[in-house]
Structure 1
Amino acid sequence: MSEQHFDVLIIGAGVSGIGMACHLKRECPGKSFAILERRQSLGGTWDLFRYPGIRSDSDMFTFGYNFRPWTGGKVLADGASIKNYVSETAKEHDVERHIRYGLAVKTADWSSVDKCWKLTAVNEKTGKSQSYTASFLVGCTGYYNYDQGYKPDFPGEADFKGRIVHPQHWPEDLDYTGKKVVVIGSGATAITLVPTMAEKAGHVTMLQRSPSYLMPLPSTDKLTLALQKVLPARAAYRLTRARNISVSRLLYQRSRKNPKAMRRLFLGIIKRQLDDQTDMRHFTPNYNPWDQRLCVVKDGDLFKALKAGKAAIATDHIGRFTETGIQLKSGEHLDADIIIPATGLNIQMLGGIKPKVDGQEVVLKNKVVYKNVLVEGVPNAGMIFGYTNISWTLKADIASEYLCRLINYMDRNGVRMAVPRDYENSLGEDTVMGSLDAGYVTRAKDRLPRQGTHGPWRASQNYLEDVKTLRFDPIEDGYMEFDGRKTAARKGEPRGFLRPLRSALFGS
């Protein structure tokens, strides 16, 4: 079995992996690298999910990369458009040829003697193994299991005579024209599926145990279209990004500081959308805004489907499945030809890989993350993990920039091994997902790495703070060991407040 060596190995060719590769090409041009991708195509999430209406739930002017403008006026883009954007970015920056498709990474072991990672990957078509070594490893696998979405075992499920389809495994042959459909769930997937399927189905019911906070958002940004007519594409992109980052941050901060007022605001918006014609019990969550992610309703399409009678919402608990649908605990029966459990994801870190350091398995739930990019005690390895309260790619971009800074620092100083060390034992109870209280997060607390109680071990979920930390703060901060030597904290060049703020809003 031949062994191939690279300066950097990236696992995953989704939004994060392609972004990391592009940053390497831009900021570390002399480095050799490869991307190991299990699937036969790039795109990650946007290649996997094929359900009707699949789209972003973040605006594309912040979800797009900071180095490549998202053009056009679309705020919420469909899955195919996003995959095409990622693919075009890979081609433009000449990283597509570095992707090795069809390879599932099975093992990743760090050797302190050899100062490198040793990986074994299996070609899932042929079953043959390939061996790789790398000086630096970057995990860009996202945070969920691509093979299996989350679905509870429903009582009486085997009795149902219709078809049960999980959104993560949408079949190409599913014809729902004129059919009665029940979508179980109230998250982003359900909010997207219901109005899209209602266009062709006989009727669609969204069955939820509890509502989510909803926010209508127009699919086209008229102000951006106007800016694009009078400004260069990059300038219009940066101005729109700056505005959207500011608005998103304001909504999040207001929700945390004054949840009662924000609750009234969100519910008032929904009332106006529905013309006071519906039972607000179906739209009033039992938690505060941003305890879970806000669900975006494109062009108010869900509300339009409800008002037209093409869709309905049932807030209840499942008693059992029957031959013809779902019996609710309230006594009501929902007739169905097709049932879609949009019940969430199964979280899985690093694509299921269990990394080892000198033969000892790294148990992520016992580890604390450093700047939400590195894992304590794990040498020469980064983990791209995006935001949960704003666009994923905003964090992916600056995390990639930080890793490039670290790699360049190591080269300049002749360093072969960099390890973050938690000298103060700051391990906390919160996971890297922060205060998010979604079901898929609470189910995975035993698998997620932790964040610390203070300092660089605390994940802020604050883009402006992270820009300062990852783009400007010195690499030597007293927490990093280089070739086994602890370095003292070094003060960075005084920059004041405006440069990090300008950098955050308008780009580096």
Structure 2
Amino acid sequence: MNKMTGLSAAGSLETLTEPLDVLIVGAGISGIAAARYLRAERPGDSFAVLDDNESFGGTWLTHTYPGIRSDSDLHTFGYSFKPWIGPPIATAGEILAYMRETIEENDLAGTLHFGARISTAAWDSDRKLWTVTATDKATGREHEVSARFLWMCQGYYRHSKGYTPDWPGMADFAGEVIHPQNWPEDFDGAGKRMVVIGSGATAATLVPNVTDQVDHVTMLQRSPTYFRSEKNEIEIATKLRRLQVSEEWIHEIVRREIVLMGHDFTERCFSEPEQVKAELVSVARAYLGEAFDVDTHFTPDYLPWRQRIARIPDGDLYKALAGGKASIVTDEIERFEPDGIRLKSGDLLPADVVVTATGFDLCAFGDVAFSVDGQPVDFHDTVGYRSMMFTGVPNMVWVMGYFRSSWTLRAEIVAKFVIRLLDHMQETQKSRVEPQLRASQKDMPIHDWADEADFNPGYLLRGQHVLPRRGADPEWALNQDYWTEKDEFEAIDLSDEVFAYD
């Protein structure tokens, strides 16, 4: 049994000697979805799931800091085919249990191969195969695994470490510096002063959940973030359960309502941004009181949804600040000193422990060295078709979820597309496919992947040079609107000239 999850032992790399129909990279929320769709829709296909970690779960396995929870509701972050029963914002443990049930209910355990670190992925046009080199971390032995189709579900950031800026004087700091992705199992904060650097979902989760472990915690942010504070309950789900409606129906109804409400909220962020801004800030003011400097600490200078809006269920961050167990400082770091952090204002922020909740270290394709017919692939030289397939790269799909909606919504859209694509290739007896610009698109303007004016978190802007590029036409752009994509993907004509087959 797997010590982390209670899952029966997964497969060995040594058993993967024959070319597979599909190789899935990553056993997080996207990879398990991919495996389930293959099992359900194409039961005759051979496939395997490889993951660098010791178990499934991705983010929910590797992140262990206090309070780790979802930042999206589980009715949409969960799968459409498996009802979520519980509060919408869930803990990592609850999400792992849900994923374990998905694996068991769909008989996926034997397809999972853990501790497999992939270093290379090479496409051979003569054989019409991808061959990946994977090292078994337990034995140190390298294995080659071949497949006709490669499904990259490993996410977009490096799980082994997070992003920490190199501030002046860090070596002089006498205390402990921790990134949330590498939270120590034996952490003891008793009597210590903690400073959490950051203002996103991680910082907002950590601060209220560490107050009982340290003497005091201060959230240090360079600039404010928008937060949505809502009751951790879906009222319509509670009412439907009282009416004894089946969980399958509740899941579908709640999912549709949340998707519609999310779409409407996003539309308002662009059609009436100042009003939405005022509403979000007013919630902070209601929790913290008129004496609190909400203008400085919770009023961003950008408009809503240009960066991710973090959720704080039941106002827990605001309550921690209002109760005095936590405080917030908005300033920039001048340097680290032995006793704390010197701010640009000149103030010294005392600290025994500093937590750098400063974002992800972007890793778009899992640090895998890709090649096609012996030539290295630089994904920044490719253009992304619907942010999932790339010019010059055959038989591969990459899952990039939504930032303004739940990641899983797009993971499932892509999964359904892949099933249709594999069916089409089987029916037409084609063994190779890659996207290509239409004849009418040869002069289409090409841009970096992230649009700074639309969505501009730091980790994406820092990693533009490793990301594919996007085109001006919608099918070559990064779309963040599930409401339109759910219909557009279903309407994709697989015989269209945008797909080159042989």
Aligned CA distance change for structure 1 residues 121 and 432 (closer, same or farther; 3 Å): farther
Answer yes or no: is the 8 Å Cα contact 2:450–2:461 preserved in 1: no
Inter-partner Cα distance in structure 2 for 1:433 and 1:449: 13
Task: Please state how far the C-alpha of 1:433 moved relative to its aligned partner.
Answer: 7.2
CA deviation digits over 1:328-360, x for unaligned, max 9? 111211111111011111101121112111111
Letter in 2 for 1:374: M
Q: Deviations over 1:84-139 (max 9, x none)?
A: 11121111111121011111111111111111111111112322110111010000
Query: Equivalents in 2 of 1:110, 1:26: separation in Å?
Result: 27
Query: Aligned with 1:47: secondary structure?
Result: helix
Aligned-pair CA distance for 1:427: 5.4
Amino acid at match of 2:482: Y
Q: Does 1:60 align with 2:78?
A: no
Quick one: distance in 2 between partners of 1:176 and 1:299? 25
Paired residues of 2:172 and 2:338 also in contact (CA < 8 A): yes
1:191 matched to 2:204? The reply is: yes
Determine whether 1:203 maps to 2:204: no
Pairwise CA distance, 1:473: 2.8
2:88 to 55, 75, 87: 75
1:379 CA displacement: 1.0
1:415-463 CA-to-partner distances (Å, cap 9, x unmatched) read 1111111132335214167732111111111111122111421222111
Q: Which moved more, 1:232-241 or 1:197-206?
A: 197-206
| Structure 1 CA distance for aligned equivalents of residues 474 and 76 of structure 2 | 27
- Large movers: runs of 4+ above 3 Å: 1-4
Per the TM alignment, residue 4 of structure 1 is displaced from its structure 2 partner at its CA by 3.2
**Contact 1:140 1:350 survives alignment (8 Å):** no
Find the counterpart in structure 2 of residue 440 from structure 1: 459
Q: Deviations over 1:258-284 (max 9, x none)?
A: 222211121122211222231021111
Q: CA deviation at 1:481?
A: 1.1
Are 1:375 and 2:390 matched, yes or no? yes
1:173 to 1:427, Cα distance in 2 relative to 1, 3 A: farther
Q: State which of 176, 184, 197 in structure 2 corresponds to 1:171.
A: 184
Aligned partners of 1:342 and 1:474: how far apart in 2?
Answer: 43
Residues 433 and 441 in structure 1, CA contact (< 8 A), matched pair in contact too: no
- What is the letter of the counterpart of residue 384 of structure 1? V
Q: Counterparts of 1:340 and 1:305 in 2: how far apart (Å)?
A: 17
The size of the alignment, in residue pairs, is 482
Correspondent of 1:126 among 102, 126, 139: 139
Match of 1:14 among 28, 39, 61: 28
Q: What amino acid is the match of 1:215?
A: R
Residue 241 (structure 1) aligned with residue 255 (structure 2): yes
SS of match in other structure, 1:181: strand
- 1:96 & 1:137 partners in 2: Cα distance? 19
Contact 2:450 2:456 in 1 (8 A): no
Work out the CA distance in 2 between the residues paired with 1:371 and 1:320.
Answer: 42
- Whole-angstrom CA distance in 2 between matches of 1:433 and 1:356: 28
| Residue 4 of structure 2 is aligned to residue 4 of structure 1 | no
Q: Is the 8 A contact 1:39 1:103 kept in 2?
A: yes
Classify the secondary structure of the residue corresponding to 1:446: helix
Match of 1:470 in 2: 489
Counterpart residue identity of residue 189, structure 1 = T
State whether structure 2 residue 498 is matched by structure 1 residue 479.
yes
Q: Describe the shift of the 1:385–1:169 C-alpha distance in structure 2 as closer, same or farther (beyond 3 A).
A: same
Question: What is aligned with 1:497?
Answer: none
Greater shift, 199-208 or 466-475, is seen at: 466-475
2: CA distance, partners of 1:455 / 1:217: 34
Show CA shifts across 1:268-320 (max 9, x none).
22211222231021111111111100011121011111111111110011122
Q: Determine if contact 1:430/1:451 at 8 Å carries over to the other structure.
A: yes
- Indicate if the aligned counterparts of 2:188 and 2:213 stay in contact, CA closer than 8 A: no
Give the letter for the 1:480 counterpart: F
SS at match of 2:365: helix
Once the 2 structures are TM-superposed, how far is the Cα of residue 177 of structure 1 from its aligned partner? Answer: 2.7
Which has the higher mean CA deviation after the structures are superposed, 198-207 or 187-196?
198-207
Distance 2:89 2:437 in 1: 40
TM score, norm. by length of structure 2:
0.93
Q: Over aligned residue pairs, what C-alpha RMSD do you find?
A: 1.5
CA contact (8 A) 2:450 2:464 kept: no
Q: Contact (CA 8 Å) 1:159, 1:322: kept in 2 or not? A: yes
Q: 5+ unaligned residues in a row in structure 1: which ranges?
A: 484-508
Alignment of 1:417-428 (within 5 A): 417-423=432-438, 424-425=441-442, 426=444, 428=446
Counterpart-to-counterpart distance in 1, 2:41 and 2:121: 26
Q: Which residue of 1 aligns with 2:58?
A: 44
Partner of 1:489 in structure 2? none
How far 1:170 sits from its partner (Å)? 0.4
What is the SS of the residue equivalent to 2:163? coil
Change (3 A) 1:400 1:198: same
Distance in 2 separating the partners of 1:62 and 1:418:
31
Q: Name the structure 1 match of 2:416.
A: 401
